[in-house]
Each structure stands twice: as structure tokens, then as C-alpha cells.
Chain A
């Protein structure tokens, strides 16, 4: 196994997995608890529109995807927050439209542009140093913001109406959470792919919630689980010559299934 570590791409892949797991573990805990999983899916797919826009403008796709995604996110969040009932539909629309826009833009781009598959499943084995640096910066931003606003975020997650009474700026903080989600999704998407970002946001947190009583424990455990899944998934994909992203997801979901069974058995 350890001979794999000689290869720089493998070391980078591991590093990438760790960085993405930290961001997804922290943000994913909020996503699962605030029940914004659907919005996060919407953000992820809409972000692809930004990637396509970047290609057609001849710019580095990620630098267009970030503001594009942010705008789409804030729009979705703003509307979803105001009227929770039917705006599910709006998110579904933006989800599909963003994706379609991205595909069309790439179709229209002269010459070769990265294909859809690499954004769906990422290229963790070919991650660039600049992506790693951006992910590291994102992690630092997330940790700092969550550290300082931990109490306020907790209050909003538990009881939004009461938070208003406490004069906590509910709407801006909610949008901030979504903005951080957007940032995480777009950057992680480059590394591990769109499908896997959603998996890494939801599965580790869903497992952790069953075993923790305090939110910051949930976040730490989720990050840790993400790292375990990524590393073991990478190892298994190396052993059996499988797609790394898909393997990681299957490892994560197997553990999720096991954890649910374990919880059920514990009750009996």
C-alpha cells in the first residue's frame, strides 16, 4: 500500500481528500441539520452553469463559477427563506437550468473544454496545486467563521423565531451559511466532482448526528469520517482499479447503512 505514496499525485490526492472532508464535515453538519440538502444540491448543479460560462468567456472556469454560484445561491436562499412552501420548485428549476446552461456553453466553446464527466466525478488523482491552495484557504475561512459565529448559528438552527427576538440578524447569517456552502461546493467540485460533494456533505453528517449530542462534536466527527472514507476509498480504488470518486461514495454509504443497523440493534 505504501508504495503508492511515492507518487506525488497520490500524496496530493490524500491531501485533497483531507481538505475537502474538513470543509464538507463542518458545512455538511449545518446542511443536514438545517435541512438545506436540497438547496445544496441545487447550488452544486447550478454551479455547473458558472463553469460553462467561464469556458465560453475564455476565463479560468473556477473564477467565474464562484461568483456565479454565489449569486445563484443567494437568490435561491433569499427566496426559499421567505416562502418555504413552493420555492422547492424554484430550486429544482435552477438546478436543471444551471446544469443545462453549463452543457450548452461548453458545447459552444471552440476547441477542447473539459467534459462533463470530469466535473461530475472530479479528478482527485489529477488535482492541481492551485486547487489545493484554494481549498486550504476555504477551510481556514470556514473554520474561522464557524468558530466566531458558532453560538448564533446554533440559535438559528434551533429556533429561528426566537433568534429574531434575541435580535440576531437571522437572514444575513442564513445567507452567510449558504454562501459558505456555495464556496465549499464549487471548490470541492473541482477536486472530487459534483456527485461526490453532495455525498460528502450529507453522509458523514448523517452518520455523526446519530452518535453525537453537541454540534461541534458532530462537525469534528463528520470531518473525521470524511477523511476515513476518502482515504479508504482511494486505497480500494487503487487496489481494484476502480473510479476513485465512486468508490469513496460507496464506502461512505455502506458505513451509513451499517450505522443505521447498529442504531436499530442498540435499541433492542
Chain B
């Protein structure tokens, strides 16, 4: 029997007075590959931050890997949304960044061990970035930076991987590479991504959750027109890019 890696029960959250998440209950099974979709401002990123223990819910209960988020996050790998804030002047190499993933398990002030370095090297190999490990992080391409951040998350040796819009700023070739990498990782790691990319979602992902302050629906990855309309609160026309695949469920009547 698969147990739940993530469990949210009646979670409410508001930054100020307006609620961002209302009464969300959600379970993620072990080795699931879940995509959370929904409109901007609908609470997707907030949900990730709750899972990471960066913020606490106003009401409700969150369990990650059987414990509270703060206690389990040393086993959670997180890949934030690509931001353009990485200053190209800064003297940090890819290697420095990936090793940071090991800090969660080391006490303060401890130097990286040989094992830490082996794990970091392994993570870099998994994303095919080992050759670039001595390059400055700000001087590689956006897609390579994204891979470096994934390697940082993998260096944690996580049981759960959370990604926020992993394909937001990359072109379709890298997108394909990214999702295939994630599928491969999904053989051992539970994955939750926040994504606008509905096309890729239905191709690679196992489960879909639609969130717009409330959990609108949560089921396997057939995204229906109705589901989207309810989530986005307006009729949505889907445009599928690139690889042709079925985005709409067949309407069997």
C-alpha cells in the first residue's frame, strides 16, 4: 500500500486579509508525479511554500513525509522558479551552488565531506552538467542555470522534489529534456510541479490538481475542458505546442 508523501487537511492561508488558499485538502501518494495548475494568484506557489515550511497555514494541518514541513524538509528538494536575479559578476560556481544542497544535513560550520562532494558530483551527472561545474553560475545559459538548481535539489537526496514552473523560461527542446529527466527521476522520487504548461503536463505527468484558492479538482491526468473552465473561471481555449498529443479527454457519449 502506498502511503502519502504529502497530506494537506483543510488548509487555509492568507497573507493579509484576503485568503489565498481556502480549505484545501490534498494527498499526494508516494512516487506520484503531480502537476498543480491554475491561474496566477490562485495559490500555487503559496502551496509550495507551505510544503516547505517557509510559511505556516492559518488553519489546517500539513504533513510531509509523515512529519511537519520544518522537520521533513531536509528530505525535500526544491527548485525555485527561474529568476533573472543571478548577478553574472558573482563569484559562485555551479559546483558551489550544487554543494549547498548538502548544508541541510550538516551542522553549522562543518566543512563539506568527501561524501558530500561525491553526492554533488552525482547530482551534476544526473542533469548532465558535470563538465560545467567550475563555471560561474551567472555566466551560463538560463537552461543550464535551471539544471544547476535541479542538481542542487538532487544533492539533498530527496524523497520529494518540488519544482516551481520548471519550464517557464526555457525553449521547447530543453523543456522536453527537462520533463524526460523528471520522468526518469520519478522512478525513485515523488515529484510535485507547479506549472502553467498544460501541454507537457498531460504528456508526462501522472496526476493533476487544479487550484484557484480552492482545490477545484484532483484526479489523473485527463484534463477536461470543464475542469479548466472551472479552475480558470472563464472559458479556456487550449493551444498545444510542439508534440501533438491529446489534451482534451475524448468525449465518449
Question: Which residues from chain A sit less than 8 Å from chain B, CB to CB?
Answer: 33, 148-149, 151-152, 154-155, 157-159, 161-169, 209-210, 212-215, 217-218
Contact present for A151 and B73 (CB under 8 Å): no
CA distance A148 to B137 in the complex (A): 23
Contacts of A151 in B (CB 8 A): 99-100, 103, 111-112
Interface size band for B? 20 to 34
Contacts of B52 in A (CB 8 A): 165
CA distance A210 to B139 in the complex (A): 12
| CB-contact partner of B109 in A152, A154, A163, A164, under 8 A | A152
| CB-contact partner of A165 in B78, B89, B93, B135, under 8 A | B78
Contact present for B73 and A167 (CB under 8 Å): yes
| CB-contact partner of B89 in A162, A166, A209, under 8 A | A209
B105 to chain A: closest CB distance in Å? 9
Mark B67-101 against chain A: 1 for CB-CB distance below 8 A, else 0. Answer: 00010011010101000000001111100110111
CA distance A167 to B52 in the complex (A): 10
Which 6 pairs from chain A and chain B are nearest by CB?
A166-B104, A148-B109, A166-B103, A218-B91, A155-B100, A213-B136
CA distance A214 to B52 in the complex (A): 29
Question: Which residues from chain B sit less than 8 Å from chain A, CB to CB?
Answer: 52-54, 70, 73-74, 76, 78, 80, 89-93, 96-97, 99-101, 103-104, 108-109, 111-112, 134-137, 152
B124 to chain A: closest CB distance in Å? 17
| CB-contact partner of B108 in A152, A158, A165, A217, under 8 A | A152
Contacts of A168 in B (CB 8 A): 103, 108
| CB-contact partner of A161 in B73, B80, B99, B152, under 8 A | B80
CA distance A105 to B108 in the complex (A): 42
| 29 A–B contacts, CB within 8 A, in A order | A33-B91, A149-B109, A151-B100, A151-B112, A152-B103, A152-B109, A154-B100, A158-B92, A158-B100, A158-B137, A161-B54, A162-B78, A162-B100, A162-B152, A163-B100, A165-B53, A165-B73, A165-B104, A166-B101, A166-B103, A167-B70, A168-B108, A209-B90, A209-B91, A213-B134, A213-B136, A214-B91, A215-B92, A215-B96
- The residue of chain B having its C-beta at the shortest distance from the C-beta of A173 within the complex is B108
CA distance A154 to B92 in the complex (A): 8
CA distance A161 to B162 in the complex (A): 14
Contacts of A217 in B (CB 8 A): 91
Summarize A's interface: helix, strand, loop or mixed: helix
| CB-contact partner of B54 in A158, A165, A214, under 8 A | A165
CA distance A242 to B220 in the complex (A): 78
CA distance A161 to B80 in the complex (A): 9
Additional A-B contacts beyond A151-B99, A151-B112, A214-B91 (8; CB < 8 A): A155-B100, A166-B74, A166-B101, A166-B103, A209-B91, A213-B93, A214-B96, A217-B91
A197 to chain B: closest CB distance in Å? 23
Contact present for A214 and B93 (CB under 8 Å): yes
Contact present for A155 and B93 (CB under 8 Å): no
Contact present for B89 and A158 (CB under 8 Å): no
Tell me whether A166 and B108 are in contact in the complex, defined as CB-CB below 8 angstroms, given that A212-B91, A213-B136 are known contacts: no
Contacts of B76 in A (CB 8 A): 165
- The residue of chain B having its C-beta at the shortest distance from the C-beta of A206 within the complex is B89
Contacts of A169 in B (CB 8 A): 108
Contacts of A162 in B (CB 8 A): 78, 80, 100, 152
Contacts of B103 in A (CB 8 A): 151-152, 155, 163, 166, 168
Contacts of A209 in B (CB 8 A): 89-91
Contacts of A166 in B (CB 8 A): 74, 100-101, 103-104
- The residue of chain A having its C-beta at the shortest distance from the C-beta of B116 within the complex is A151
- The residue of chain A having its C-beta at the shortest distance from the C-beta of B69 within the complex is A165
